[in-house]
Homo-oligomer: A and B are copies of this chain.
Amino acid sequence: MYTEKVMDHFQHPRNMGEIENASGVGTVGNAKCGDIMRIYLDIDDDQIIRDVKFKTFGCGAAVATSSMATELVKGKSIQEAMAITNKAVMEALDGLPPVKVHCSLLAEEAIHAALWDYAEKH
């Protein structure tokens, strides 16, 4: 049912945790399943995402997509990060079952919310 990459990122999530005094924080909820996700971004003066962490109450698919999404945005500019879609994240994981696609939206939405939070503060 799940690809090797999904299982790997589920069992060994990258960048799980919090960032104190983050440059931007995004919290989103999933209306379909009631799960929540929070992404923390640390953005430097050159507008490069130096660090990123996530926390979620979501399922294995939410954990795996967040883990992959944080890897994809780390080291990127704000513009590059904005362009990363949940489709790109799912492709990097070699796919997700259709019933789990809505879970993957959490990571994309939380990253956008965190970038928005950063933009509002700057």
Q: Considering the complex of A and B, which 9 residue pairs feature the smallest CB-CB distances, nearest first?
A: A57-B60, A34-B99, A59-B59, A35-B59, A58-B59, A34-B100, A34-B97, A33-B33, A57-B59
A110 to chain B: which residues have CB within 8 Å? none
Number of identical monomers bound together in the oligomeric complex: 2
Question: Please, how many residues of chain A have a CB less than 8 angstroms from a CB on the other chain?
Answer: 17
Say if the beta carbon of A62 comes within 8 Å of chain B. Answer: yes
Residues of A within 8 A of B (CB): 1-2, 10, 33-36, 56-62, 97, 99-100
The answer on a CB contact under 8 Å between B99 and A36 is no
A104 to chain B, nearest CB (A): 12
Given contact pairs A2-B57, A34-B97, enumerate 7 new A-B contacts (beta carbons under 8 Å): A1-B34, A34-B99, A57-B59, A57-B60, A57-B61, A59-B59, A59-B62
